Every structure is written in structure tokens, then in C-alpha cells.
Amino acid sequence: MRHLSLIPFAGMMLLSSAEAVDYKEEIRPILNKKCFKCHTGPKAKGGLRMDSADDFAKRIGGDDPLIIPGDPGKSILSIKAGLPASDGEAMPPPPARERGAEPMTAAELTLVRQWITEGAKLEPGDTTAAPSAPAPGAAPMVAELHDWSNTGGGSLKASFVAMNGANVTLRKEDGTQFDYPLVNLSAESQALAKKLAGQ
């Protein structure tokens, strides 16, 4: 099996818009992968600690906001994350990009912007932007990842979300969720989807 052709999957990628974006499941993994390297712990760059829910919440709305709930176009965090490497204000900073720090993909940025549009809640149902800190030592919830392959020989790691008519809804490790036609999956993956759906 070839492990390079993600294009047939990527081409089908659709963000599910019916459900609100979930911070822990969808946004935190993106920040973790693209931003935590420099924005965690007491020495966080720019004083921006994304790993501590309390610290991060202070920069959502309030006096000195990096995120303005409802307005990704005015939120410094989403603006910086969307700037091209040619812009000195971009995040990750351009020199770090030259050393391999990757910016958010367009799909990741879209999801982050959608989360901000929806109010930048750190907890489901949270309306105050003042979430409680996670329980000490609590392990992040990670859905089980499976290997999926399609008829074109492409493969992808993703967790199963649901069967959705003739499509299967999958979620990648970075939190992006998309529908994929069952018939385009390999026989093995079709069987896996049916099994996980309890069919």
C-alpha cells in the first residue's frame, strides 16, 4: 500500500458545520502541534501561555485580548496565524519557519476562525470564557485512530465519527472532520467502517 497519496482524501475534505467546534477535541490539538512549542510553560514567548486554560482564558476577550469572541478578523491570534511568512508579524515567526516550525494549514486556520466566530469557548456550554483548569494529571481524550485506505491506494489515519448515509465521517488527528464516500474506500476499510458503526 502506498502511503503518500492523501490527495483523494484531502479533496473530499469538508468541515462539518452543523456542530459547534469543540476546543478540546479540535482546536487544542492544532495549537499543540503548531504553537505549543513556544507558547507553554512559565517561559512562554510573548507571555502567551496556551497550555494553561486559566492563562489562555485571560487573553480571550477582557482588557488585553488576543482573541475577540465572535470576531476572528480582529483577533490577533487568528490574524497572526494567517499571515504569510513574508510578514514579520506572522506566527510561527518567519525565522522559526525556516527552521521547520510549520504554520497552520488553511483547513486548520478555517477551523480556528470558526471556533472564534462561535465565541471561542474553552469548554462546551461555557459562556463566561472563564473555564476551570483541567484536573491535574488528566489525560487528554483521544479518539482511537484507525488506518483507512481507499480504492486509489491512498491511506490515512483517522478516528471514526459516524456513518452518514453513503458516507463515513472521519476525523483526522488534527481535529479536522470530513465525509468520505464509502464506495471509494477499500473493501477492508468499508468493513471496518461498518463494524465501527455496529452494522
List residues near ligand HEC by CB under 6 A: 34-35, 37-39, 45-48, 66, 76-77, 80-81, 91-93, 96, 101, 104
Looking at residue 51, its amino acid is: D
Whichever of 96 and 161 has its CB closer to ligand HEC, that residue is 96
d(CA 51, CA 32): 8
Whichever of 32 and 184 has its CB closer to ligand HEC, that residue is 32
E-strand stretches of the chain: 146-149, 155-164, 167-172, 177-181
- Nearest approach in angstroms of CB 189 to ligand HEC is 32
Pair type for strands 177-181 and 146-149: unpaired
- Nearest approach in angstroms of CB 22 to ligand HEC is 18
- Nearest approach in angstroms of CB 160 to ligand HEC is 28
- Nearest approach in angstroms of CB 139 to ligand HEC is 23
Length of the chain: 199
**175, 107 in Cβ contact below 8 A?**
no
Whichever of 76 and 163 has its CB closer to ligand HEC, that residue is 76
Whichever of 45 and 146 has its CB closer to ligand HEC, that residue is 45
For residue 52, what is its C-alpha cell?
Answer: 494553561
